[in-house]
Amino acid sequence: MIFNAVEFHNIEKIYHHKGIEGGLLQRIPEEVGNSLSQAAQMMMICPSGVEIRFVSETYPVKMTLSVDKIIDRMVDDHTEVYIFFGTVQSRQRFTITRQKTTIEITMPYGFMDMAKKVSPDASFSPHVCRIRLWGTTMGAPIRFHSIETEGNIRPPKPEELPKLRYMAYGSSITQGAFASGPHLSYASQVGYRLGADVINLGTSCSAYCEPELADYIASRDDWDFATLALSVNMVELFSPEEFSDRIAYMINRIAQSDAKRPVVCITIKPYYGDYLESKSPNLYRNLLREAVASSPHDNVYLIEGPELMPDAAGGLCPDFIHLGDNGMIQIGENLSKKLIPILRAHDLFILNGCKNKNG
């Protein structure tokens, strides 16, 4: 969405509340969020995969943000800010707390002249400044207050952004929990490798495949392909029958929205449940396989989660469910390789970050 002459990527609504300064960033509309669990409602106001983007003719650019007071134990009490110019990571990094924080973004001297030579075919134009919001456990909800610069500022133009758009749904793994930065979540890694812009709808501890969320994803016309990681959060919390009903509705509802858009389902990746007799992840993996096999839609595909992270010991965090950077990179790299033939089969040809019709 566009607000104050900048683009808020992966944000569907900015909410202004009486008596509270700034606008609260939310990844889905409130009417959809209200149909989700309390945990998911909180996760959808965490800025995972959120970017504030602009093109400015002058620097520095000052932006004022703050952490919203509505935080709980599931999220950080702060949010980190990483600065990218196009695909190039700046050394600047900031921390946003509950106090209004003004960050000052600078462009390195001579950067643009060299960037045009080094990355003429990059998926993002180097003119696009990307304020990427993050936290080691998803980041705290953010309020936007203002942006200031002496010259003109505008949102990026379509030709300055990736042509391909990727929708990712899943649990905290998709949301990016414990990755060291926004560019290191597996969804971001896939986006980088395929030259795609990422819409991240991961929801920690609460990826329950609600039909209302399935309807919402299906209704959006701003994505070209989707991955659905379905879902370690549902193991044993939902009966096999409930799990099957929910995933079948989500898969088929999204797939039928547009036969040209591939919908790729991912079975549960390796985690501690694979090593405990009391857990039954393989049952839920089999149910997802059956749901994909029985789908009437030709644009539904299956990828096995364990194949995406063959080095479980090198990929997992000490809780043996979340991923460290190596795990995120493993999944991002392997998932990208498996997605390329699927995208090409749907006439979504990947070349230098561009979506080219008819190859």
271-319 confidence digits (pLDDT tens): 999 999 888 999 999 999 999 999 999 999 999 999 999 999 999 999 9
Helix (H) or strand (E) holding 350: strand 349-351
- What's residue 278's pLDDT? 86
Share of the chain above pLDDT 70, in %: 95
Average model confidence (pLDDT) across the chain: 93
CA-CA-CA-CA torsion for 301, 306, 309, 310, nearest 10 degrees?
A: -130
The answer to whether 165 touches 176, Cβ cutoff 8 Å, is: no
Interval 57-73: pLDDT, tens: 999 999 999 999 876 65
Higher pLDDT among residues 76 and 162, named by residue: 162
CA pair distance 6, 109, nearest whole angstrom: 23
pLDDT tens per residue, range 189-217:
999 999 999 999 999 999 999 999 999 99
Instruction: Give CA separation, 125 vs 81, 83, 117, in Å.
Output: 20, 14, 12
Q: CA angle, 265 as apex, 300 and 292 as ends, to 5°?
A: 50
Q: What is the pLDDT of residue 339?
A: 97
Sequence-ordered list of residues with C-beta below 8 angstroms from that of 74, at least 6 positions apart, any chain = 39, 42, 43, 137, 138, 204, 205
Helix or strand (DSSP H, E) at 175: helix 172-175
> Distance of alpha carbon 232 from its chain centroid, rounded?
18
Residues whose CB falls within 8 Å of the CB of residue 241, separated by 6 or more in sequence, listed in order: none
User: Which residues touch 175 (CB under 8 Å, ≥6 apart)?
Assistant: 43, 46, 48, 49, 138, 185, 200, 202, 203, 204
Query: Helix, strand, coil % (nearest 5) of the chain?
Result: 30, 30, 40
Q: What are phi and psi of 214, to 5 degrees?
A: -60, -45
Domains and CATH numbers, the chain: 2-160 (2.60.120.260), 164-356 (3.40.50.1110)
Using CA atoms, how far apart are residues 75 and 93, in angstroms rounded to an integer? 20
